[in-house]
Amino acid sequence: MALQDYEKSMSYCIRCSSCKWIPYNKIQSKRFSGNCPAISKYNFHSYAGGGRVAMAYALHLGRSEISDETLDTIYRCQMCGSCQVACHIVGEICEPLEIGRELRIQCVEDGNLLPEHMFMVDSMRKDDNPLGEPKAERGDWAEGLGLKNINTEQADVLFHAGCRFSYDQDLRGVVRGAATLLKQAGVDVGIGGQEEACCGGRAFDIGYRGQMETYADDIISRLRASGASKMVTPCADCYSTFKQFYTMIRKEIDIEILHTTEYFDRLMKEGRLEPKGNGSLRVTYHDPCHLGRLGDTYVPWDGEWKKAFGQINVPDPPRKVHRGTEGIYEQPRDVIKAIPGIELVEMERIREYSWCCGAGGGVREAYEDFSEWTALERIEEAKDVGADALVTTCGWCERNFKDALEAKGDNFKIFDLTELLLADAT
Ligand code: SF4
Ligand code: SF4
């Protein structure tokens, strides 16, 4: 797809501004009624999903061009997808998230690059990760765990750690713990080790589609060679990339993709994994964008829009409208509720209407203050419902929340769900 393929979609933005809030019938308070970090912080239409659609349409029609200011506005967006969920509640044609991504892809193709992203891009090209870490150390996290090397041995499950979990020392307990829990449940686990590469999701979100296509080809060919029946990842970003982004670019993975949370839930329900718990804690659960609304199964559509009754545009053939409702929402809640001593309280913005952690879309790397502000907004929401801790299922979310809290000198607790499953977590 390219920006021109969204011409109809761009022209059908009705400027209703529904993309700025969670649906009206879900609002519980004015304080937590916003859904879009960008418009909530900058309070100017161009920063909203609909504003980006207007920008893209003007560019497409040749009525505008990219300046430093427009580039800055285009990239002050986490690509969290909340605008699109809200938009699809009022209509079915406009796609602010996809249009925002195509706008970024066009910027990159035209050489309008955001300097703050070049570190990430160079690191991906050199070391297959956006963090500036050496490729040779990618598998170090698994040292001593006795996991199979999928490059030389057959295993039933390929465990894809992802860039954040492979290198972030502070999160090492999560990734090691997740692999250990799977082994304890009798799962035959293999890893790519230093041969594992980035999924490419971050590259796609900042406009480097070619980079993601390279990663997709690499991962799909390794998967086929491995003979694994499933791929499991503890990273929500990787999950969404494998499940949704690869399908968008017509590079589908033909084996089962699971997030560790889904797999833990399944193993617990089969009696193969026993939640232990070790103390009492009142927690709230943060739905990561990429495990929730962006974890929907994507169904490509190559049809066209036709007029019905001379005035209504209808898709021919009919197409699936993505509203984020098919993400992973029940499984993490079921796991939390099954852990002895853990009480779950819900925030106001949950499931497909979840507020973003602030890390995505290259915002963490380019606009640290905006990323931090977004994370602290979520933490305020967690505190507002009386939670002692916030639980998430994504390393990027956990990292961003912890960094924002540290910058503020706040010791509110953040956990990955895996940590709650390990006996010493609480
Ligand atoms: S993007 Fe969708 S929700 Fe936002 S103003 Fe346009 S039509 Fe309304
Ligand atoms: S993707 Fe998220 S941050 Fe970007 S415009 Fe949409 S709701 Fe706002």
Residue 93's pLDDT is 83
Gap from CA of 244 to ligand 1 centroid (Å): 22
189-191, strands of its sheet edge to edge: 148-149, 189-191, 157-159, 230-233, 256-259
83 and 142 housed in the same domain? no
Atom of ligand 1 nearest to the CA of 87: 3
Percent of the chain with pLDDT over 70: 99
Residue 217 lies in a domain: yes
86 within ligand 2 shell (Cβ under 6 A):
no
* DSSP string covering 385-403: TT-SEEEES-HHHHHHHHH
Domain region containing 164: 117-269
- How far, CA to CA in Å, does 321 sit from each of 136, 205, 414? 42, 21, 34
Residue 426's pLDDT is 40
Gap from CA of 50 to ligand 2 centroid (Å): 9
As a whole number, mean pLDDT of residues 333-348 equals 96
Ligand whose nearest atom lies closest to the CA of 98? 2
Ligand whose nearest atom lies closest to the CA of 80? 2
Residue 276's pLDDT is 82
Q: Is the dihedral of CA 65, 67, 72, 75 positive or negative?
A: positive
> What is the Cα–Cα distance from 216 to 206, expressed in whole angstroms?
16
Ligand whose nearest atom lies closest to the CA of 104? 2
> What is the Cα–Cα distance from 135 to 293, expressed in whole angstroms?
31
Predicted confidence (pLDDT) at residue 277 exceeds the cutoff of 80: no
Is the CB of residue 352 less than 8 Å from the CB of residue 289? no
200 and 105 housed in the same domain? no
Ligand 2: residue of 82, 104, 377 to mutate (most ligand atoms within 8 A of CB) is 82
Pocket of ligand 1 (CB under 6 A): 13-19, 49-50, 53, 86-87, 90-91, 94, 96
- pLDDT digit string, tens, across residues 289-321: 999 999 988 888 888 888 888 888 888 999 988
> What is the Cα–Cα distance from 416 to 422, expressed in whole angstroms?
10
265 and 281 housed in the same domain? no
Residue 95's pLDDT is 95
> What is the Cα–Cα distance from 238 to 394, expressed in whole angstroms?
9
- pLDDT digit string, tens, across residues 7-40: 999 999 999 999 999 999 999 999 999 999 999 9
- pLDDT digit string, tens, across residues 357-388: 999 999 999 999 999 999 999 999 999 999 99
82 and 202 housed in the same domain? no
76 and 96 housed in the same domain? yes
109 and 163 housed in the same domain? no
9 within ligand 2 shell (Cβ under 6 A):
no
Residue 306 lies in a domain: no
The CATH number assigned to the domain holding 170 equals 3.40.50.1860
> What is the Cα–Cα distance from 32 to 5, expressed in whole angstroms?
35
> What is the Cα–Cα distance from 167 to 232, expressed in whole angstroms?
18
- How far, CA to CA in Å, does 264 sit from each of 119, 182, 234? 35, 8, 11
Gap from CA of 417 to ligand 1 centroid (Å): 34
- pLDDT digit string, tens, across residues 90-128: 888 899 999 999 999 999 999 999 999 999 999 999 999
209 and 264 housed in the same domain? yes
Gap from CA of 124 to ligand 1 centroid (Å): 34
Confidence of residue 54 (pLDDT cuts 50, 70, 90): very high
Residue 248's pLDDT is 92
Residue 1 burial class via C-beta count within 10 angstroms: exposed 0-12, middle 13-18, buried 19 and up: middle
CA 411 to chain centre: 25
106 and 22 housed in the same domain? yes
396 and 255 housed in the same domain? no
Atom of ligand 2 nearest to the CA of 49: 5
Q: Total domain count for the chain?
A: 3
339 within ligand 2 shell (Cβ under 6 A):
no
- Please name the helix (run of DSSP H) or strand (run of DSSP E) that holds residue 234, with its range, or none: none
- How far, CA to CA in Å, does 260 sit from each of 107, 130, 243, 296? 35, 22, 14, 16
> What is the Cα–Cα distance from 59 to 3, expressed in whole angstroms?
10
359 within ligand 2 shell (Cβ under 6 A):
no
Residue 352: how many CA atoms within 13 Å on its side-chain side?
Answer: 19
- Strands (E) across 51-160 are located at 148-149, 157-159
Write phi, then psi, for 191 (nearest 5 degrees): -130, 160
> What is the Cα–Cα distance from 384 to 13, expressed in whole angstroms?
35
Mean pLDDT score across all residues of the chain: 95
Ligand whose nearest atom lies closest to the CA of 93? 1
415 and 331 housed in the same domain? yes
- pLDDT digit string, tens, across residues 200-223: 999 999 999 999 999 999 999 999
Gap from CA of 269 to ligand 2 centroid (Å): 36
Instruction: Please confirm whether the linkage preceding 234 is cis (ω < 30° from 0).
Output: no
CA 324 to chain centre: 12
Residue 425's pLDDT is 43
As a whole number, mean pLDDT of residues 169-178 equals 97
Percent of the chain with pLDDT over 90: 88
80 within ligand 2 shell (Cβ under 6 A):
yes
The type of residue at 74 is I
Residue 302 lies in a domain: no
**Of the spans 270-279, 307-316, 329-338, 417-426, which averages the highest pLDDT?**
329-338
Domain boundary among 269, 301, 319: 269
Write phi, then psi, for 130 (nearest 5 degrees): -90, 10
Residue 104 lies in a domain: yes
Atom of ligand 2 nearest to the CA of 35: 7
As a whole number, mean pLDDT of residues 286-290 equals 98
Residue 244's pLDDT is 93
**Residue labelled with tokens 């995505």:** 360
Is the CB of residue 180 less than 8 Å from the CB of residue 424? no
413-416, strands of its sheet edge to edge: 342-344, 281-285, 389-392, 413-416
149 and 178 housed in the same domain? yes
Confidence of residue 423 (pLDDT cuts 50, 70, 90): low
Predicted confidence (pLDDT) at residue 278 exceeds the cutoff of 50: yes
256 and 139 housed in the same domain? yes
Residue 279 lies in a domain: yes
Collapsed DSSP state (helix, strand, coil) of residue 354: coil
